[in-house]
Amino acid sequence: MNLGRRRFRDRVMAALVVLGTLVVLVPLFFILFYVFAEGLGALNWAFFTQGPRPPGEAGGGMLPAIVGTFVVDLIALVLAAVLGLAAGILLAEYPEHPLNPPLRLVADVMAGLPAILMGLVAFVLVVKPLGHFSGLSGSVALALIMIPIIVRATEGVLKLIPWELREAGLALGLPRWRVVLSLVLPAARGGILTGLMLALARGAGEAAPLLFTAFGNPYLTTNPLEPMDTLPLKIFVYAVSPYEDWHRQAWGAALLLALLIMAASYLARRYAGGRR
């Protein structure tokens, strides 16, 4: 085959790859653009400082849902991080441990379960025993969604750390847990943080598992034992309502949620990247 034809083929292939990338990116940009265009108008002072008005009445804001999102997501992230990191570390650092095969199975099954089922589990585990809906039960539901993501990310990142690093630590007479804690985890910090942010982004966008756990609450509260509102719940409720102003506010809430998640992952990356 002559050189000209090879070069031609190379160009065609490269063009196809670029085209494929654009086809994927265009809808993504369109979504972001649309959310910005529709949502930006809803973001005013009242949106951030007031609670919702009664149905049909224009005005009011998202304050309870914004506060609730922070509370519910933060508790969920802490719960999921503790359990997910522990499981990920066990899988990667103690591959011979007898708990690993069942652990891996559970993590894989959890990753494939629909989010609404996690809400059901949290309903049975938390709402039933407490006797009422609560932000905490919503956190448990979201944590169940986040855990398998964190387990997989943590295991994957830890396995990328060269084995020699562990041996170097062991050869100094350090116990194994100390090697993991002080040498391996710091080396994997950036990747682990990225995994946590990925899990947060996934959990923070869920409405379905919160419908019968966090439930929603038109009044401002910071007590996770009371029912709480979150942005995805509000988006769901407002989007299916018949009121024009609520639709507008749902777009605003969607925009705010997207911005919050983008900000969280940006900050985490910057923070992790600066010290690597």
Partner 1 sequence: MNPSVRMETRDLSVYYGKKPGVKEITLPIYDRQITALIGPSGCGKTTFLRALNRMHDLNPVVRVEGEVLLDGKNIYDPDVDPVVVRRRVGMVFQRPTPFPTMSIFDNVVAGLKLVGERDRKRLRQVAEEALKAAALWDEVKDRLFSPAAGLSGGQQQRLSIARALAVEPEVLLMDEPTSALDPASTQAIEDLLASLKERVTIVIVTHNMQQAARVSDHTAFFLDGSLIEFDRTEKIFTNPKDPRTEAYITGRFG
Residues that bind partner 1 (CB under 8 A): 96, 164-176, 178, 182-183, 186-187, 189, 275-276
> Residue 150 Cβ, how far from partner 1 at the closest point, in Å?
21
- What's the distance, CA 5 to chain centroid? 48
> Residue 183 Cβ, how far from partner 1 at the closest point, in Å?
6
> Residue 103 Cβ, how far from partner 1 at the closest point, in Å?
17
H helices of the chain, where? 3-39, 45-49, 63-93, 100-112, 115-122, 128-130, 135-160, 163-171, 176-179, 185-187, 189-204, 231-239, 244-274
> Residue 49 Cβ, how far from partner 1 at the closest point, in Å?
43
Nearer to partner 1 among residue 24 and residue 171 (C-beta): 171
Nearer to partner 1 among residue 188 and residue 231 (C-beta): 188
Please tell me the distance from the alpha carbon of residue 215 to that of residue 233, in angstroms, as a whole number: 8
CB 259 within 8 A of CB 268: no
Nearer to partner 1 among residue 6 and residue 178 (C-beta): 178
> Residue 66 Cβ, how far from partner 1 at the closest point, in Å?
36
Please tell me the distance from the alpha carbon of residue 11 to that of residue 5, in angstroms, as a whole number: 10
Nearer to partner 1 among residue 21 and residue 182 (C-beta): 182
Sort residue 216 into left (φ over 0), alpha (ψ -120 to 50) or beta: left
Residue 26 CB-half CA count within 13 A:
6
Q: Which residues pair with 60 in a beta bridge?
A: 52
Nearer to partner 1 among residue 27 and residue 173 (C-beta): 173
Burial of 100 (0-12, 13-18, 19+ CB in 10 A): middle
Nearer to partner 1 among residue 6 and residue 97 (C-beta): 97
> Residue 102 Cβ, how far from partner 1 at the closest point, in Å?
18
